[in-house]
């Protein structure tokens, strides 16, 4: 290289572009969109299943019930027995299992009177009301052949005590079971004669006194076969106690500490079972987090490779969880084939 030759120019080093502000701005905008989307989702009222109307007869019975209701349950056994699902998919072992036990004395009396609740009870409606820490008062109505078989002479001979309540004969079959015939097809049942008195001589309407129960029943979609409404937080906590005592994780996953009310209804459809359960929380944020955790738990449990049984995983695939304002709504559409598979495996 000669001395006259010039040295090649050294390229100027350019300072690296600063990406920090753009990254921060992008993250900020993304975070803002996520927060706004979550806010809109939490406060957006989603559509619901159109609820079936409550029958006029059932409405009248409920309206005449005294006080307020902590828990109310209805079972339309006649409609269930006549459904295609019950006739074709439900095993005979379940059909013949005792529907409920009313205590040794009452069970023995019904057996002596030829009363079989599985076939003689058409409908049952009961409302419970807590009185003190442990005592539970209730008032209800039973209909069907059970009322005809429980004749006045049978009830009188079987009763521990008789009384006239609001001009009607009443019979105490057990310490917490009073019965009073209402025509040829209905029996009023109660935990005391005082409750019968208040029922036969109603003061006002329950739906006007108890707006919580009225709202829960109104939103319950299926009202023909089975439904219940737990309007009291104490009753709600009691209903879930057995679950949380066996699995401590469920309590945290479902955010159960803030749960206020629960409803559930089931319809025996020709093609299977349809059901919905609504969990009402103190606020919308609690409902949102509960629905998120429940959805995640169901999705994880329904995956293959988990300890969940195959039949349980198949069932979980037919469950849907949604948050709707202060509520978590769990819907189920269970085809008849799902139960036939389960029965065959057993």
Distance CA 277, CA 236 (A): 13
Which whole number is the average pLDDT over 40-61?
85
Residue among 110, 97, 182 at smallest CA distance from 139:
182
Q: Of 13-27, 66-80, 228-242, which has the strongest mean pLDDT?
A: 66-80
Stretch (H or E) spanning 139 = strand 135-143
Is residue 56's pLDDT more than 90?
Answer: yes
- The pLDDT value given to residue 24: 72
Distance CA 335, CA 273 (A): 6
3-state SS assignment for residue 329: strand
Is residue 165's pLDDT more than 70?
Answer: yes
- The pLDDT value given to residue 345: 52
Which whole number is the average pLDDT over 44-72?
91
55-64, 132-141, 186-195, 299-308, range with the lowest pLDDT: 299-308
What would the pLDDT profile of 284-339 be if each residue is shown by its tens digit? 988 888 888 888 888 887 777 667 777 788 888 889 999 999 999 999 999 888 87
127-136, 156-165, 203-212, range with the lowest pLDDT: 127-136
What would the pLDDT profile of 91-149 be if each residue is shown by its tens digit? 888 888 888 888 889 999 898 889 999 999 999 999 998 766 666 799 999 999 999 99
If pLDDT is split at 50, 70 and 90, which confidence band does 41 have? low
- The pLDDT value given to residue 342: 55
**184 vs 344, higher pLDDT:** 184
Average pLDDT score over the chain: 84
Is residue 215's pLDDT more than 70?
Answer: yes
Contact 334, 324 (CB under 8 A): no
**250 vs 271, higher pLDDT:** 271
What would the pLDDT profile of 222-234 be if each residue is shown by its tens digit? 999 999 999 988 7
If pLDDT is split at 50, 70 and 90, which confidence band does 261 have? very high
**240 vs 110, higher pLDDT:** 110
pTM: 0.84
Is residue 263's pLDDT more than 70?
Answer: yes
- The pLDDT value given to residue 64: 95
Task: Could you list the beta-strand ranges (E) of 271-337.
Answer: 272-281, 319-324, 327-335
> What percent of the chain clears pLDDT 70, i.e. is strictly above it?
78
CA-based angle 87:91:96, to the nearest 5? 90
Is residue 3's pLDDT more than 90?
Answer: no
């Amino acid at each position: 290289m000669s001395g006259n030759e010039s040295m090649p120019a050294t390229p100027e080093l350019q300072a690296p572009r600063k990406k920090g502000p753009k990254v921060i701005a992008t993250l900020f905008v993304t975070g803002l969109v996520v927060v706004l989307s979550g806010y809109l989702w939490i406060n957006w009222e989603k559509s619901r299943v159109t609820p079936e109307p409550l029958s006029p007869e059932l409405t009248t019975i409920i309206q005449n019930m005294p006080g307020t209701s902590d828990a109310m349950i209805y079972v339309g056994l006649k409609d269930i027995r006549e459904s295609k699902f019950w006739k074709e998919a439900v095993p005979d072992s379940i059909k013949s299992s005792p529907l409920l036990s009313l205590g040794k004395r009452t069970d023995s009396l019904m057996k002596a009177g030829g009363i079989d609740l599985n076939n003689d009870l058409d409908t049952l409606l009961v409302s419970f009301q807590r009185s003190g820490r442990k005592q539970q008062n209730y008032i209800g109505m039973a209909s069907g052949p059970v009322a005809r078989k429980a004749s006045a002479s049978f009830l009188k001979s079987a009763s521990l005590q008789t009384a006239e309540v609001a001009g009607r004969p009443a019979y105490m079959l057990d310490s917490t079971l009073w019965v009073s015939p209402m025509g040829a097809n209905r029996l009023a049942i109660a935990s005391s004669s005082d409750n019968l008195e208040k029922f036969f001589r109603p003061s006002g309407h329950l739906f006007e006194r108890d707006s919580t129960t009225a709202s829960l029943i109104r939103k319950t979609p299926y009202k023909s076969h089975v439904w219940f409404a737990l309007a009291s937080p104490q009753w709600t906590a009691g209903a879930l106690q057995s679950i949380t005592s066996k699995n401590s994780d469920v309590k945290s996953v479902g955010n159960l500490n803030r749960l206020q009310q629960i409803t559930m209804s089931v319809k025996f459809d020709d093609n299977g079972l349809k059901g919905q359960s609504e969990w009402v929380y103190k606020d919308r944020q609690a409902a949102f987090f509960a629905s998120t955790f429940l959805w995640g738990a169901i999705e994880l449990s329904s995956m293959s490779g988990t300890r969940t049984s195959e039949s349980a995983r198949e069932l979980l695939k037919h469950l849907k969880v949604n948050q709707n304002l202060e509520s978590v709504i769990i819907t189920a559409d269970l085809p008849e084939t799902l139960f036939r598979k389960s029965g065959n495996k057993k």
